[in-house]
Structure 1
Amino acid sequence: MTRPIFTEAGLRAAIERELPGVRADLERLVRIPGIAFDGFDHSHVERSAEAVAELLRGCSLDVRIVRSGGQPAVIGRRAAPPGAPTVLLYAHHDVQPVGDISLWESDPFEPVERDGRLYGRGAADDKAGIMAHVAALRAFGDDLPVGVVLFIEGEEEYGSDSLERLLREHRDEIASDVIVIADSGNWDIGVPALTTSLRGIVNCFVEIRTLEHAIHSGMFGGAVPDALTALTRLLATLHDEHGDVAVDGLISRGGATVDYPEDRLRHESGLVDGVSFIGTGRLTDRIWTKPALAILAIDAPPTTGAPNALVPAAKAKLSVRLAPGDNPKQAYAALRSHLEKHAPWGTTAVVTIEHDGDPCVIDASGPYFDAARGAFEAAWDGVKPVDIGVGGSIPFIATFQEMFPAAAILVTGVEDPYARAHGPNESLHLGEFARVCLAETLLLAKVAEAAAADR
């Protein structure tokens, strides 16, 4: 059997043909509020999985909805032509909660286009990732040059608790030569990127109790410590005067190959005028390869209606982003030791872990990475992709690395610096989405060419 010959012009035309339908299906997915967090209606996650399964069946894949004690994932498969490699395409169909609805300019689950961007929860993270995969499959039709396995997860935003079990249970089904993880982003609008490092994560709680019950702040204040003051003094020890993390035992690295202009980072982050950056070193090192520590929340009386009473107990949630190369278990031990050591005035800091995840570093060399760079450069009309780090975490990449050590892992995505994933008014740049769809289509063709050249 003679394999079809794919030209760049032909694949561009195929993507152009498929994009209207791809966008319509993306909007249908965005309308499903599939939130895997506790307290939400998980029937919508089921609906989301069914909708994804239907899309994959429409691409002539063998499809199953699977689970391992958590939310449903979707696996779709099509066998490789003789001698061709297999490519695993990952994305996730669950989304973040919307948060404060008053901060959204439109209904988060009714997609709306404004100024070339499609607004809606999950429009960028990560339902556009799913549809980029579908767009590539539709562009090839029955003439796919590689085998494909689509693994569309259903609880990534909630921590991927069951993902490792799913991967191990279905290891033989998903074994691949190339793994494309479409859950990251590009360096800028008009500048594609491959993500080659991600930070790890440790989330934990710290609680301090000073009193058996609340007491009069006037009668006892000045001699008896309250828990909220003690907690804030403890939290203040976590950073030095420059804003660098001051916890001994955490790994810190440098070596980012690109830098973030200060004015661009200030604009993209929405930093308020007059507020300085924190930390030392290059900005890309601070957000990609050095640890960061944020106080996410504090349990204490709200200001409205607070009595004049000393607070008996206070609790905070902390999130540490770990430099590539660090170990989450050791990092948690270092943080717990710091908190216990620095608890003021004889108090005891009770520290409990919520979850952790491994950082990762990817050796982005070899023919399949060359194929990806060539596909990106063509899709962005001659703009060469850059290698970037990401300050966020995708811990399961380490599981893929451990399970499939010979596979090339390509971390790509549809987001840009203005996507506001996880925040209000999340959006997708439609022009960049079209390029992502073309890039993935070209990538599959180039992977097949690279494998044929290697034989």
Structure 2
Amino acid sequence: MTDTAEHVPSVPSAVDGAIREAVATGLPSTIADLSRLVRIPSVSWAAFDPAHVRQSAEAVAALAEETGVFDTVEIRQAPIGQGSELGQPAVLATRRARNGRPTVMLYAHHDVQPPGKDEDWDSQPFEPTVRGDRIYGRGAADDKAGVMAHIASLRALTETVGDDLDLGLALFIEGEEEFGSRSFANFLAENRDALAADAIIVADSNNWDEKTPALTIGLRGNVTFRLTIRTLEHASHSGMFGGAIPDAMLAGIRLLATFWDDAGSVAVDGLTRYEGSTPEYSEEQLRAEAGLLPGTQPVGTGSILSRIWSQPSITVTGIDAPTVANASNTLSPVIAVKVSVRVAPGQTARAAAEAIEAHLMANTPFGATIEIDELDLGDPFLVDTSGHAVGEAKRAMADAWGVEPVELGVGGSIPFIADLVREFPEAEILVTGVEDPHSRAHSPNESLHLGVFHRAILAEALLLGRLNAQTR
């Protein structure tokens, strides 16, 4: 990982200058198109209307068509696993490389997380709202801004080079990333020839801050599952049997507590950590970016960024149990919890899942019955930073932002990258993004910093322009 530093700009070319002007001139229409996408509530989770995801895919396909860049633009779906159920619609647009130029795959996703409660938002989640230098709305940052970064960079590139565009392109805008990319591997296999590329730009990550770009070189993997705990055949009166009968809530609380030690570090044998250097990052910065309440202490040991980037973590993200409003004096026979495990680079998600299962079986109290299902796995990722495209990407970022980029680790997961590595082992994978530490992706009041958006588009457009001038 590298610290931030001032950048000495490259000697500008005429093409670079024209791209800068095209990006700046096109920014208002880019923001307007982003706003139209944000208004589509394209939540890909099973409980939400899939028609909205279809509508979103159609809107993205129309934007791709309007660039005039692609030979073909299609909406496609692939099966989930070995079954017949299809995943959510994705957009696939392709352009054949000419005159020996490389091919670049541009990835983002058009689906979004559920918005949560409207009252937790300062404005409606699907009504994009500009306040200050940020635009607020679900998907404004994650990842419809990534979609528009690709579209806007292509617009600027074609406006600048016109008929001299020889770069090969494969635009892949997924429709179910927020729901586990369940058909992703099959989609890659079915469309491998169309997607094959020399470099892959994944626009779905963070920047160091609002003024400093980042190239993500490390990602934690993930294991998510539902854990169901049962102790009774039926509910019983807590006054009559409480004190002798272990209800499911008691067993569940005791079991879940075994995930962590007294410092809040993960205490599951078999989950490993990755030893890597990290930039300076203070507790004060953590508090400001995460919204940690005064008096609440961080958890874990080691440097703060190592806890986020290089160590495993476990979070209980949901509980199905009687609500407070409906609570009665009853012993609960069953509860279910959703568990999200982040896996450190260097360990496979499968190995982590096996360690978690062994831990749960060994620590289940009172002879309770447990069941693990809805298991999703995503392997972690480490980038080889020695490649040509990585160097070009970092130079383009520095020229667009005026600051050298940071090599970033990310505590979140992009599980499908392991599928990209497996399917396209020779391609260089560049994980970029339009978010910053205050974007609050997945949370109420998600937002996009418009200055970051501008610079991210410019960096990608400069990179594409330079690759367009190079042979493979």
Q: Does 1:431 align with 2:451?
A: yes
The verdict on how the C-alpha distance between 1:22 and 1:305 changes in structure 2, with shifts beyond 3 A counting, is closer
1:124-171, Cα deviation, whole Å (9 max, x unpaired): 111111111111111122243521111111111111111111111110
1:419-453, Cα deviation, whole Å (9 max, x unpaired): 1111111111001100011000111123244x44x
The AA in structure 2 aligned to 1:417 is P
1:190-232, Cα deviation, whole Å (9 max, x unpaired): 0100001111111122222222222232332222222211211
Partner of 1:224: 245
**Which aligned runs of 4 or more in structure 1 are off by greater than 6 angstroms?**
none
Pairing of 1:18-33 with structure 2 (within 5 A): 18-33=26-41
Aligned to 1:7, the other structure's residue is in SS state helix
- Between 220-229 and 67-76, report the one with greater CA deviation: 220-229
CA distance in 2 between counterparts of 1:306 and 1:252 reads 41
Partner of 1:48: 56
The AA in structure 2 aligned to 1:243 is G
CA distance in 2 between counterparts of 1:108 and 1:344 reads 42
Pairing of 1:110-189 with structure 2 (within 5 A): 110-141=127-158, 142=162, 143-189=164-210
CA distance in 2 between counterparts of 1:58 and 1:305 reads 52
Contact 1:340 1:350 in 2 (8 A): no
CA distance in 2 between counterparts of 1:40 and 1:204 reads 20
Aligned to 1:249, the other structure's residue is in SS state coil
CA distance in 1 between counterparts of 2:447 and 2:382 reads 28
Contact 1:291 1:322 in 2 (8 A): yes
Partner of 1:16: 24
Partner of 1:418: 438
The AA in structure 1 aligned to 2:447 is S
Partner of 1:384: 404
Calculate percent identity across the aligned residue pairs: 52
The AA in structure 2 aligned to 1:219 is M
- Between 191-200 and 26-35, report the one with greater CA deviation: 26-35
Contact 2:16 2:465 in 1 (8 A): no
Q: Which residue, out of 387, 392, 406, partners 2:426? A: 406
Pairing of 1:69-80 with structure 2 (within 5 A): 69-80=86-97
Partner of 1:63: 73
CA distance in 1 between counterparts of 2:367 and 2:50 reads 45
Q: Which residue, out of 287, 292, 304, partners 2:325? A: 304
CA distance in 2 between counterparts of 1:212 and 1:182 reads 49
Residue 31 of structure 1 deviates from its aligned partner by 1.2
Q: Which residue, out of 89, 102, 117, partners 1:85? A: 102
Partner of 1:287: 308
Contact 2:165 2:468 in 1 (8 A): no
The verdict on how the C-alpha distance between 1:440 and 1:348 changes in structure 2, with shifts beyond 3 A counting, is same
CA distance in 1 between counterparts of 2:234 and 2:76 reads 49
- Between 212-221 and 227-236, report the one with greater CA deviation: 212-221
Contact 1:145 1:444 in 2 (8 A): no
The AA in structure 1 aligned to 2:105 is L
CA distance in 1 between counterparts of 2:64 and 2:419 reads 25
- Between 278-287 and 302-311, report the one with greater CA deviation: 302-311
The verdict on how the C-alpha distance between 1:65 and 1:352 changes in structure 2, with shifts beyond 3 A counting, is closer
1:256-290, Cα deviation, whole Å (9 max, x unpaired): 33132111111111111111111100111101111
- Between 344-353 and 272-281, report the one with greater CA deviation: 344-353
CA distance in 2 between counterparts of 1:398 and 1:211 reads 41
When normalised by structure 2's length, the TM-score is 0.92
- Between 13-22 and 204-213, report the one with greater CA deviation: 204-213
Contact 1:75 1:150 in 2 (8 A): yes
The AA in structure 1 aligned to 2:296 is V
Q: Does 1:395 align with 2:406?
A: no
The AA in structure 1 aligned to 2:443 is G
Instruction: In structure 1, list runs of 5 or more residues that go unmatched.
Output: none
Number of corresponding residues? 447
CA distance in 1 between counterparts of 2:166 and 2:394 reads 18
Contact 1:87 1:178 in 2 (8 A): yes
1:78-127, Cα deviation, whole Å (9 max, x unpaired): 22230111111011111111111111111211211101111111111111
CA distance in 2 between counterparts of 1:134 and 1:210 reads 54
Residue 353 of structure 1 deviates from its aligned partner by 4.3
Contact 1:296 1:317 in 2 (8 A): yes
When normalised by structure 1's length, the TM-score is 0.95
CA distance in 1 between counterparts of 2:170 and 2:365 reads 54
CA distance in 2 between counterparts of 1:219 and 1:279 reads 41
Residue 76 of structure 1 deviates from its aligned partner by 1.2
Instruction: In structure 2, list runs of 5 or more residues that go unmatched.
Output: 1-12, 79-85
Pairing of 1:179-218 with structure 2 (within 5 A): 179-218=200-239
The verdict on how the C-alpha distance between 1:447 and 1:247 changes in structure 2, with shifts beyond 3 A counting, is same
Partner of 1:364: 385
Partner of 1:340: 361
CA distance in 2 between counterparts of 1:353 and 1:58 reads 39
Partner of 2:296: 275
The AA in structure 1 aligned to 2:420 is F
Q: Does 1:36 align with 2:44?
A: yes
Aligned to 1:415, the other structure's residue is in SS state coil
Partner of 2:126: 109
Aligned to 2:41, the other structure's residue is in SS state coil
CA distance in 1 between counterparts of 2:333 and 2:405 reads 54
Partner of 1:253: 274
RMSD, aligned α-carbons: 1.5
The AA in structure 1 aligned to 2:167 is V
The AA in structure 1 aligned to 2:436 is D
- Between 37-46 and 109-118, report the one with greater CA deviation: 37-46
